[in-house]
Structure 1
Amino acid sequence: MKDLRLLICCGVLLTGFFLVSLRLSSEWEEKLAVNPEGMDLPYAQAADEDNEEDEEDEEDEEDAVPQSRPETATSQKVWKENGVLKAQYHFINFNREKLSVSFGMPVTEYSNYLSGYGYSDAELSALKDWREKAHQAAWSKAIVKGGRPAAEKAIKEVAVEYDTRLRRLLFLRGLALRIGNVVECNMPGIVKRNIPELKSLALAFQELASKGGYGAEETVGAVLAMVQTSIRYKIPPMVEGSRHTGGLLPPARALLSGWGDCDTKTGVVASILGNWSRIRMVGIAVPGHYLMAIRRIPAKGDMFVRYEGLEYVLMEPAGPAWLEPGSVGRNTASLLEGSASYTIEPFF
């Protein structure tokens, strides 16, 4: 009878410890879990007064997508040919010369490329399942060796490991977990990853520069003008099917789709320009908008920001406004000059 009572007491005690484990698990869940709905932070603003989102559905990237803007003599075509996705852009640089560039990527390579961005609910669920099993295993092992204090410590160690794995997953997918469990695009990481991906396009601009006798400023301007006017402004969805995008298209997808919003288009410009080793750039996040700046001494009238004691001249890739380096849209200028704070992050 005494053995039976002892067994019952042990069972009650273990049940109590397990309930405490579940409560602690719930507390860490609230602290660390990414809410699939409403926790992703988007940027969405064009560089002119018309900030309405394009209501058209996204074109199929495998079909020809001719788009033209007669008023600025710009056009684009995106199509698939012999297993390769291709894009061609016609635009006018700030010297008012008509230029064109092309970009392409094999379909198989493109599929692998896309898999490196965004995350799915299934991936988060698998990570949470691992955590729950790890919680139970850590608790059971630690409670026997060191009692409740050891078990609670083990639970916290599992929570730290979960947080590390979550952040690593997001980092590998071009995202970052910020304060308040907000998931947003990791723009410096995206730019670094896409510099080699867009090398062929950078070489195309280098060839244009050689033929036209352009200096560095004119080459940078050509890249900016192409992205502003030839790539349509359209806001990506935060969620596509079961995949959370962070509200951004990775640069190669933007080029092979023909559209993107402010941070998407900034990523394209920075990834192209990053192929020139002497160019230094920073990203600038203002409320609801994203742009960039390039390191050079400002000319008279140029808008610029200071970062670590150096001047960086502003560039606004969002379009559709045709704005030279040193100029930004009126709405953006108001945000930068007003009381709203902005964040500067170096791309390199």
Structure 2
Amino acid sequence: MSNSQAEQLSFSKKKIEQGYSFHYQWLDFNSEIQSMNFTLSNEGLFERFRDFKSYQKNYAQKSIFRAIKKKLRRKPIPGVQILYKKDNDHFYIEARGIDKNKVAKAYQTIAEIEQEVTEQYLSESYYQAFTDHLQNSGMKVNHGNIANNSVADLKPLKPLILDRVSIRNIRKVTNYVLGFVQSIPYSKLESRLTSSGAGFNTPLQLLWENQGDCDSKMTLTAALLRALMPRIKMALIFVDDHAFIGINIPAKAGELTINHDGINYVLGEPTGPATLPLGVLAPTSELAINQGHYTVQTYHEIIVEQ
């Protein structure tokens, strides 16, 4: 296990036609100097997640309520009267009618519509319901969805990384990406369940600002690995105040792994500043894994190469 600290030697960005050129230089696990120069488009940097913002519960409820109302007005439920009500900040719908069976069926239909529009709203907003290992529930950023939607914008990095490592060696590819992301300066993670996405940087925003919290760094790592290895099975692993990734490859002796739904994942630490190769986590993270104090979200989406 390496005890050295990830070190970013230099970082710069420069405006060019249609985007920005980035320069990164850092020390890898072997204390060797690595560097990458790449271009990111204006669309990826400034347009891709332009509508992504912190999750506001009241605004979400209003948006979902309006969508339900729109659907019900477009296709009324026969035999019942629908009333739209608000009690303080709580919105609710009441169904009235003479036939109790029709009223009951109306409530069932309303519940189905609510589930449908809620799922659509969360998907479009890049959020999802989340329950941690202590069964605390809330809304968090949909890290897998954001990673998927960042893959195309990160394609310029693919040939640069594969030039230095072999795609046939998943370990080398993963360790190169881990070293790169670990060297990027770290910013403190806000509470995952109560911050409403505050402080989270999408992958290209992280590169633009040259800093990110552990959730942001995990998402960038997942997106880069997905761009490099479209069919590899991954897992996003969340512990209290931290996050890391899992890669579905055979483990070597002594490497830290988990089994989730019958699939083994070797764990990797994207945050830094310690230069930790695949299979090694910080002591506090290793303790959380050994105690079962973690939540897993699989990331198995297959991106078709263009």
Q: TM-score range by the shorter chain?
A: 0.7 to 0.9
Give the number of aligned pairs: 273
Match of 2:270 in 1: 317
Match of 1:292 in 2: 245
- The partner residue of 1:304 within 239, 254, 257 is 257
Query: CA 1:118/1:124 → structure 2, altered by over 3 Å: closer, same or farther?
Result: farther
- The partner residue of 2:178 within 206, 213, 224 is 224
Matched, 1:107 2:42: yes
Alpha-carbon separation, structure 1, partners of 2:231 and 2:254: 24
| Aligned 1:18-29 pairs, distance under 5 A | none
Deviation at 1:141, TM superposition (A): 5.1
Deviation at 1:233, TM superposition (A): 0.9
| Aligned 1:25-104 pairs, distance under 5 A | 72=7, 74-104=9-39
Q: Check whether the contact 2:189–2:242 (CA below 8 A) recurs between aligned residues.
A: no
Q: Check whether the contact 2:181–2:221 (CA below 8 A) recurs between aligned residues.
A: yes
Write out per-residue CA displacement over residues 32-73 of structure 1, whole angstroms, 9 at most, x where no aligned residue: xxxxxxxxxxxxxxxx9xxxxxxxxxxxxxxxxxxxx9x835
Match of 1:262 in 2: 214
Write out per-residue CA displacement over residues 126-180 of structure 1, whole angstroms, 9 at most, x where no aligned residue: 3323445767895795249753542353244223312321221212332212468
Aligned letter for 1:112? E
Matched, 1:208 2:145: no
Aligned letter for 2:218? T
Query: Which range moves more in the overlay, 183-192 or 196-205?
Result: 183-192
CA-atom RMSD, angstroms? 3.5
- The partner residue of 2:63 within 116, 126, 131 is 126
Query: Which range moves more in the overlay, 101-110 or 217-226?
Result: 101-110
SS of the residue 2:99 aligns to: helix
- The partner residue of 2:197 within 245, 255, 260 is 245
Alpha-carbon separation, structure 2, partners of 1:281 and 1:116: 27
What TM-score do the two structures reach when normalised by structure 1? 0.66
Q: Check whether the contact 1:232–1:259 (CA below 8 A) recurs between aligned residues.
A: yes
Alpha-carbon separation, structure 1, partners of 2:143 and 2:225: 14
Which of structure 1's runs of 4+ aligned residues deviate more than 6 A? 133-137, 236-239
Instruction: Kindly name which structure, 1 or 2, has the bigger radius of gyration based on alpha carbons.
Output: 1
Match of 2:149 in 1: 193
Deviation at 1:347, TM superposition (A): 0.9
Structure with larger RCO (C-alpha < 8 A, sep 6+): 1
Alpha-carbon separation, structure 1, partners of 2:109 and 2:128: 21
Deviation at 1:181, TM superposition (A): 6.3
Query: CA 1:246/1:272 → structure 2, altered by over 3 Å: closer, same or farther?
Result: same
Structure 1 unaligned residues grouped into runs of 5+: 1-47, 49-68
Q: Check whether the contact 2:40–2:154 (CA below 8 A) recurs between aligned residues.
A: no
Write out per-residue CA displacement over residues 244-280 of structure 1, whole angstroms, 9 at most, x where no aligned residue: 5365322122122211111211111111111324533
Matched, 1:327 2:268: no
Deviation at 1:301, TM superposition (A): 2.4
Aligned letter for 1:293? G
Structure 2 unaligned residues grouped into runs of 5+: 82-95, 301-306
SS of the residue 1:159 aligns to: helix
Q: Check whether the contact 1:131–1:159 (CA below 8 A) recurs between aligned residues.
A: no
Query: CA 1:329/1:160 → structure 2, altered by over 3 Å: closer, same or farther?
Result: same
Alpha-carbon separation, structure 2, partners of 1:72 and 1:324: 15
Query: CA 1:171/1:134 → structure 2, altered by over 3 Å: closer, same or farther?
Result: closer
Query: CA 1:216/1:97 → structure 2, altered by over 3 Å: closer, same or farther?
Result: farther
Alpha-carbon separation, structure 2, partners of 1:255 and 1:73: 13
Matched, 1:147 2:82: no
Question: Is the strand fraction higher in 1 or 2?
Answer: 2
SS of the residue 2:11 aligns to: strand
Deviation at 1:108, TM superposition (A): 4.1
Query: CA 1:246/1:166 → structure 2, altered by over 3 Å: closer, same or farther?
Result: farther
Alpha-carbon separation, structure 1, partners of 2:54 and 2:116: 16
Q: Check whether the contact 1:78–1:257 (CA below 8 A) recurs between aligned residues.
A: no
Aligned letter for 1:167? E
SS of the residue 1:89 aligns to: strand
What TM-score do the two structures reach when normalised by structure 2? 0.75
Alpha-carbon separation, structure 2, partners of 1:171 and 1:183: 12
